[in-house]
Chain A
Amino acid sequence: MKICGRILGALLLFQVNGIGLAQALPELKNFTLRLQGEPETLDWNKAHTPIENYLMITLMEGLVSLDSVKVEPALAESWKISGDRKTYTFKIRKNAVWSDGVPVTAEDFLTSWKRLLAPETAAAYAYFLFDIEGAEAFNQGKEKDFSKVAVKPLDSKTLQVRLRKPVSHWISIPTHWVTFPLRKDILEKYGDQWAKPGRMVTAGPYLLDRYDLNSQIILKRNPKYYGHQGKVDQITALIVADDTTALQLYQTGKLDFLTDFPILNVKSLSETPGFQIFPYLKTVYLGFSFSPNHPTDAQKWIQNPHLRKAIAMSIDRSKIGEILQGKQSPGATFVPPPLTGSSKNVGITYNPKEALEEFRLSQAPKGIELEILILNWEKTLTLAQFIQSQLKLHLGIQLNLQPYDNKTYRAQLDLHRHPLFLTSWSADYPDPDNFLSIFLSDSGNNRPGWKNSSFDHKILQARQMPSSSQRERLYIEMQRELLDKEVVIVPLYYEPNIALVNPRVRGLKLNPLNYLDIKGVEISETK
């Protein structure tokens, strides 16, 4: 009986969905985008995957926001940095209110940051706030008293934060959604289940209106938003897991905006009017594994810098743009342009002749076999097969691909079992520090497991430098060490953000962190 009821329910829902959409569309300016999967959560303290990206940014705002790579005022209209560059004082907008009319206060940030750092929350991005005095100890559970963490509301509209030492990129940290404010009364009422339609209050341009599991999420314009909102009344986020299906939905007009689609279609789509390329801060690189837990022959050979150099020299990176069809530009520095510390004059260039010489110097036997760990995605498989053929052609190395699903791949990366791996890094905040600090000796994201104390020292030194030209010099120097001398990694290419935007949509912006800005979007009724 229960099951009968469920089926009947499903049938009804089915009907209502169909009719509901058909009727609602003509009056509302609706913008449809695609999510690659079900969001893990809409709780912004906990959200940590790229899937939640678009939703978080349209629902909410933080103290500051990013316009392209520049930090702009958001809920905070202004901020002051003290002379020792350790104290930040944010002035919150007077007219900033939550969607239920309650004013946004400094207390709301305190509530959110306390929750983000609390060990019970187990938020993955808690470490984002570790530069704040006392924050790390509180997250470790060593300090139970949150008043020891240097986040203080001076009054209802003023928030003061004190860092344990100066960090030049710190102002970009509060652009990230994990730091967005939260309301204490809402949390007390709903606990961890607050991020649902009818419960969630927002202070951003849109509201969470409806959430159909595994199907769609609908956002409505927030009438209480303080700023300029643009002309889109409703955002429909369709959850479409398969790239080919998503492309077909775009082609039949069911999607207005799409970023990931099968690379085989890039070329033919590049001639259609909706094709756009947005800048992106993402570097795809080939890494060498330095901490062999199981020292095989291959791992011993790879410890020899000559072999690593030989491999770096034998990959013709200028061909990658053609193979992946997206005009990807070949990589040089690990820090991608236009960030400071990016340069075309750093990094090893393609040179098959010298590669052979380096290979000879490495004294590795001819025809050696090496394993490379990769993700089982269309793009990475294609790229890995290209590298495979290049190494075979120029060095006679037999590269064996080890493609895995995402989870196994991550686990294998931690095990350092494969001498080579293919991975990428995309920016959390637009600063070279976000790229180079992953190679700190104690960083969990140091995938090669390379440890170098003078490199570590330089990173920390650069963090505290106020002058950007000084920093730039240091960043270039570090990368010469990392890429030219030690050849820890080989930057392969910089990923552009290739998108399809329905021609009826104008004024869409996508920043280099893949943050979607639809405030300037206009939708024409034709079609």
Chain B
Amino acid sequence: MLRYFIKRLLFSIPSLLVFLIALFFLLRLAPGGPFDGEQVWPPEVQANILKKYHLDQPLHRQLTEWLIQLGHGDLNESFQYLGKPVTEILAETFPVSLLLGTLALGVCISVGIFFGGIAAWRQGSLADRLLLFISSVSISLPVFLIASVLVLIFSLQLKWLPPALWEGPSSAILPVLALSWRPSAIVFQLTRSTLIESLRSDFVRTARGKGVPEYGIIFKHALKNALIPVLGALGPIAANLVTGSFLVELIFQIPGMGKYFVHAVLNRDYPLVMGVTLLYGGILILTHILVDLAYALVDPRIRLGESL
């Protein structure tokens, strides 16, 4: 198992590097430069700026320089937030995104699987239909709409919770809800449908025949089987919750990394985009490997060696 893990990890590193290099060139293709602003600086000023940030050198030189620095664990300084090392920005903002994402993932898994189990258990009942309806409605709502409705109700009308900022547990409630709303519904639907499917399978019938109570069947026998596709979906969902929270971060003004990333792309802050991507890449690769491992744990029929 450990060998597989290390092998996968080692295989991923070149992929990540290739991707980063591709991104490096892709970024330079986008029109505009990091120091274009409201005003046009005189040519001598512009030349000084380009020289200072090594933007006057040929692209491959810039790339080698970046890679060498990366080897030393240095991600350069941000072009937009002058004097701030990218590593420092990541160290300060990533934990916030991670916390937000983890909380949302927790909500998403517990709500999704719990209600999914209930709906499958009482398939066709009123509760099942109601849950199904709510989940369909939830999936159909864009994040910004959920967020704005939550803010309208709980902050502006009822004045119970703050509309934005990151100042304490009460200010985390709305963003976590907004962020986990849709994925919860997705997890719910997946759990429900795969559970129903596996409830029809032979081994469940056998268990039923043996007189195992229904909730026992659901939460012990069937769920374990049903979790495979759910796990497959949870990987990207988890990754997206941590990395894709930028809209929620923007709307609720949370000092996380997602918002920085969008701004970095829009402002052509090359070092910051590269740094964030590197970190995102690491997380995503890790989640994928973990999901594959989890697959293998849940379903012994899948043999790890084969994917290598």
**Is there direct touching of A and B in the complex, by C-beta distance under 8 Å?**
yes
Interfacial residues, chain A to chain B (CB-CB below 8 A): 3, 6-7, 9-11, 14-15, 17-19, 21, 37-41, 43, 46, 48-50, 119-124, 126-127, 130, 136, 139-141, 192-193, 195, 212-215, 238-242, 244-245, 248-249, 251-252, 254, 405-412, 414, 443-445
For A192, the chain B residues whose CB sits under 8 A away are 82-83
A119 near B48 with CB under 8 A, answer yes
A248 near B166 with CB under 8 A, answer no
Task: Give which listed residue, B36, B98, B252, B260, contacts A410 with CB less than 8 A.
Answer: B36
CA distance A444 to B38 in the complex (A): 11
A124 near B37 with CB under 8 A, answer yes
CA distance A239 to B253 in the complex (A): 8
CA distance A136 to B45 in the complex (A): 10
Instruction: Tell me how far the C-beta of B276 lies from the nearest C-beta in chain A, rounded to whole angstroms.
Output: 13
28 sampled A-B residue pairs with Cβ under 8 A:
A10-B98, A14-B168, A15-B168, A18-B171, A39-B81, A48-B39, A122-B45, A122-B53, A124-B35, A139-B45, A139-B48, A141-B44, A192-B82, A195-B83, A214-B256, A239-B253, A244-B148, A245-B250, A249-B253, A252-B156, A406-B267, A407-B30, A410-B32, A411-B33, A443-B40, A444-B40, A444-B41, A445-B40
B37 near A410 with CB under 8 A, answer yes
Task: Give which listed residue, A17, A37, A49, contacts B37 with CB less than 8 A.
Answer: A49
A444 near B42 with CB under 8 A, answer yes
For B267, the chain A residues whose CB sits under 8 A away are 406-407
Stretch at the interface among B11-19, B157-165, B205-213: B157-165
> How many pairs of A and B residues are in contact by the CB < 8 Å rule?
178
CA distance A17 to B167 in the complex (A): 6
For A37, the chain B residues whose CB sits under 8 A away are 263
CA distance A209 to B250 in the complex (A): 25
For B39, the chain A residues whose CB sits under 8 A away are 48, 124, 444-445
Beyond A119-B48, A411-B31, whether A252 also contacts B159 by CB under 8 A is yes
Counting from the closest, the 3 A-B pairs by CB-CB distance are A18-B168, A444-B40, A407-B32
CA distance A140 to B43 in the complex (A): 9
CA distance A9 to B98 in the complex (A): 12
A245 near B252 with CB under 8 A, answer yes
Does B198 lie at the interface of the complex (its beta carbon under 8 Å from any beta carbon of A)?
Answer: no
By size class, the interface of chain B is 35 or more
CA distance A123 to B45 in the complex (A): 7
B255 near A212 with CB under 8 A, answer yes
For A9, the chain B residues whose CB sits under 8 A away are 95
For B35, the chain A residues whose CB sits under 8 A away are 124
CA distance A352 to B93 in the complex (A): 55
For A414, the chain B residues whose CB sits under 8 A away are 36, 40
Does B155 lie at the interface of the complex (its beta carbon under 8 Å from any beta carbon of A)?
Answer: yes
Does B300 lie at the interface of the complex (its beta carbon under 8 Å from any beta carbon of A)?
Answer: no
Beyond A14-B166, A122-B53, A124-B41, whether A40 also contacts B253 by CB under 8 A is no
Question: Max chain B CB contacts within 10 Å: which of A19, A123, A214, A238?
Answer: A214
For A141, the chain B residues whose CB sits under 8 A away are 44, 48
For B83, the chain A residues whose CB sits under 8 A away are 41, 43, 192-193, 195
Task: Give which listed residue, A17, A50, A215, A245, contacts B251 with CB less than 8 A.
Answer: A245
For B31, the chain A residues whose CB sits under 8 A away are 407-408, 411-412
Instruction: Tell me how far the C-beta of B306 lies from the nearest C-beta in chain A, rounded to whole angstroms.
Output: 31
